[in-house]
Chains A and B, each alone.
Chain A
Amino acid sequence: MTSTLTPPRTTTQAIISARPERRRAAGRRRGSITDRLLLWIPLAFALLFTLVPFYWMLLFAFRPSGSTALFPWPITFDHFAKVWTGGGFGTFFLNSVYVALASLAISIVVGLMGGYALARYSFRGKGAFLLVMLCTQFVPGAMLLIPLFQIFNGIGLTNSLWSLIIGDSVFQLPLSLVLMVGFIRNVPIDIEEAAWIDGCSRLRAFVAVVLPLLRPGIVAVGSFAFISAWNNFLLAVMFISSQDKFTLPVGLSYLIGEFGTDFGALAAGGVIAVVPVVLIFAFVQRFLVQGLSAGAVKG
């Protein structure tokens, strides 16, 4: 290893060396100075390690080509103009939005239906279904490229955004179901039973009483479906051949392909692709922790 890797390694070493002292989980609100140092010094390193790469991309996206300044001044939007119109990122962006929103809708509807069945009924074949779901976790992405290509070829969906929408929704389905089951189980059955006693049908009771309480679950499932569809690269690179149907990840891979040419444009493309997911994620990350606590992991 050359000395080029030194700065990141020092960061990580500092975190490691500070490790044993910091192991305490439930904190009191006010600690001693030592407590605070033991919290904030490693936290500062973690934040630096997380945020500097993002800053680096923003820096490249907003500073003129050829500049080596560490602050993007004078600021320029040339790189964005270049990739958005000339590079086709405007089209890629819309394609990505379309794929991600459709995948979000499918994941929520299928997840709500399947999740309700798994959480509220016991039926023959449920165990088998759950077992198949678990097994599918061992055969993702790259493995299924070949047969999926043939299926989509057979039904005439290659080079169609719908191949991505279906593929993304299916890959996301196990997580969608697991999260939804957790959230539905957290809604007490008594509430539903009370509505039935009042004469509601099962569907009516679900829509009127359960659905409003499931809002965090719907937000979580939808957001994760959106993020994963937005991010999917392998399906898109395999199934989409014409440039007007590229999604952002494929567009980026072509910018990367032009290696060593235009890092400003690459950074601008990266910013366009990363900003939506980061904003959505910042908004939903608490639902993720909540959803996993709701019993997903304990299955």
Chain B
Amino acid sequence: MTITATHLGRRARRRSAHWHPYALIAPAALLVAVFLVYPVASVFYYSLQTYNVTMPLYNGFVGFGNFVEIFHDEKFWNSLAFTFKWVVVEIALQFVFGLILALLINQAFKGRGLVRSLVFTPWAVAGILTTTIWLLIYNPTTGVGRYLADMGLIPYGTSLLSGEGTAFWAAVLAELWKGAPFFAILILADLQSVPAELYESAEMDGAGRIRKFLSITWPHIRLAVVIATLLRAVWEFNNVDLLYTLTGGGPAGSTTTLPLYVAQTAIYDRDFGYGSALTVIAFILLIIFTVVYLRMNRFGKDD
């Protein structure tokens, strides 16, 4: 991460005592230290403990016992496999539709401001609200399924969220609705900084739309795309609101991501030691993924 040099003249430096920046950053640093850094450290600590609020008698140091147990935990391996599938499918779809959306609303047309506000809206809608909205759509008695059944396309009472195959795609669609605008926003921010002259001279040279996209637009937004996909992948990995409320991780655990498994361990079982060990594994996997992903995209090496 680069830090832009501060352009302070000699006069400015005289005016500010050396403790000023520390006083200004103190509240932020304090909040981060107490409520982010310390909790992360304690997650590592508790991962080596048996710590269950409901069974305090058994609490104590177990070394890597939790990790050994996780290694033999079928639910863990299933959740890991599903996490991978979920993140890859979501990111691919959200990226494609987000990019299309950004390219569309970057064009000049009447009513662009209104269209932008409208298509970005789902981004601001919470996971649980997304669930609320899509439950109304998916419910078998009064949702879309009912109208399809009226037309004779499917049997009455078909529940999309309780079939193993359909539950996945139902969740994917709901999350896509909420996630594509995020990509569109990030990519649009970069698209707006592409100099219009580049396109004009390319048009003079007879370049078509695809040619212009590949030679001008794509190189310009590539960096933003790398960052956006990374941020979003981490977010999709970590976020549990939607799956927690829409499918509850079901049916039969088939839509449980690793973090959702952590949340369930924490909220229902109150098994903090095991949950912390799962968290440590998730954290390490994310760091590895991030490093590999940035290397793969030769991040920071060109430009």
A residues near B, CB below 8 A?
Answer: 1-8, 12, 15-16, 19-29, 39, 42-43, 46-47, 49-51, 53-54, 56-57, 60, 68, 109-111, 113-114, 116-123, 125-127, 129-134, 136-151, 166-167, 169-170, 173, 177, 185, 189, 192-193, 196-197, 201-202, 227, 230-234, 237-238, 249, 252-253, 255-256, 260, 263, 266-267, 269-270, 273-274, 277-278, 280-282, 285-286, 288-289, 292-293, 297-299
Contact = CB atoms under 8 A, between A and B. Distances in A.
A138 B154 CA distance: 43
A285 B122 CA distance: 12
A288 B187 CA distance: 12
B187 to A, nearest CB: 10
Interface in B100-146: 100-101, 103-109, 113, 115-129, 131-137, 139, 141-142, 144-146
A292 B185 contact: yes
Contact of A5 (B134, B166, B239, B240): B166
Nearest to B213: A23
B214 to A, nearest CB: 8
B156 to A, nearest CB: 12
B292 interface: no
Given A57-B133, A147-B39, A147-B46, A39 B272 contact: no
Contacts of A2: 154, 158, 160, 163, 166
A26 B15 CA distance: 46
Nearest to A196: B15
A68 B146 contact: yes
Interface string B25-48: 101110110111111101100100
A25 B145 contact: no
Nearest to A238: B267
B177 A139 contact: no
A289 B188 contact: yes
A253 B128 contact: yes
Contacts of A137: 231, 234
Contact of B131 (A130, A145, A177, A256): A256
Contacts of A132: 32, 36-37
30 contacts: A20-B210, A22-B104, A47-B119, A50-B177, A114-B28, A117-B22, A119-B6, A121-B24, A136-B40, A143-B262, A144-B39, A146-B272, A146-B276, A147-B42, A149-B266, A151-B34, A151-B35, A193-B9, A193-B12, A197-B11, A202-B20, A231-B124, A233-B127, A249-B129, A256-B135, A263-B135, A274-B129, A281-B117, A282-B117, A298-B223
User: Would you list the 8 A-B pairs with minimal beta carbon distance, nearest first?
Assistant: A231-B126, A27-B107, A147-B39, A281-B124, A114-B28, A117-B24, A23-B213, A121-B21
Nearest to B41: A147
Nearest to B36: A136
B4 interface: yes
B40 A139 contact: yes
B186 interface: yes
Contact of B20 (A27, A121, A230, A233): A121
A211 B234 CA distance: 34
B221 to A, nearest CB: 9
A234 B263 CA distance: 9
Given A24-B209, A120-B8, A147-B40, 13 more contacts: A4-B153, A22-B103, A25-B216, A53-B177, A57-B132, A68-B146, A113-B27, A118-B25, A122-B6, A138-B290, A142-B266, A234-B263, A293-B193
Interface of A is mostly: helix
Contacts of A5: 160, 166, 169-170, 173
B283 interface: yes
Q: How large is the interface on B (under 10, 10 to 19, 20 to 34, 35 or more residues)?
A: 35 or more
A183 B257 CA distance: 37
Nearest to B276: A146
Contacts of A282: 117, 121
Nearest to A21: B209
Nearest to A293: B189
B298 to A, nearest CB: 17
Contacts of A138: 234, 238, 283, 286-287, 290
Given A15-B100, A25-B103, A278-B124, A143 B282 contact: yes
A281 B122 CA distance: 10
A3 B154 contact: yes
A42 B191 contact: no
B217 interface: yes
B70 interface: no
A268 to B, nearest CB: 10
A281 B160 CA distance: 31
Contacts of B113: 286
Given A146-B272, A256-B245, A196 B40 contact: no
A41 B163 CA distance: 33
A218 B43 CA distance: 34
Nearest to B33: A132
Interface string B206-239: 0001101100110000011001000100110011
Nearest to A147: B39
A293 B107 CA distance: 17
B282 to A, nearest CB: 7
Contacts of B121: 50, 54, 278, 281-282
Most B-side CB within 10 Å, residue of A20, A53, A167, A282: A53
Most B-side CB within 10 Å, residue of A42, A110, A232: A110
B245 A233 contact: yes
Nearest to B109: A39
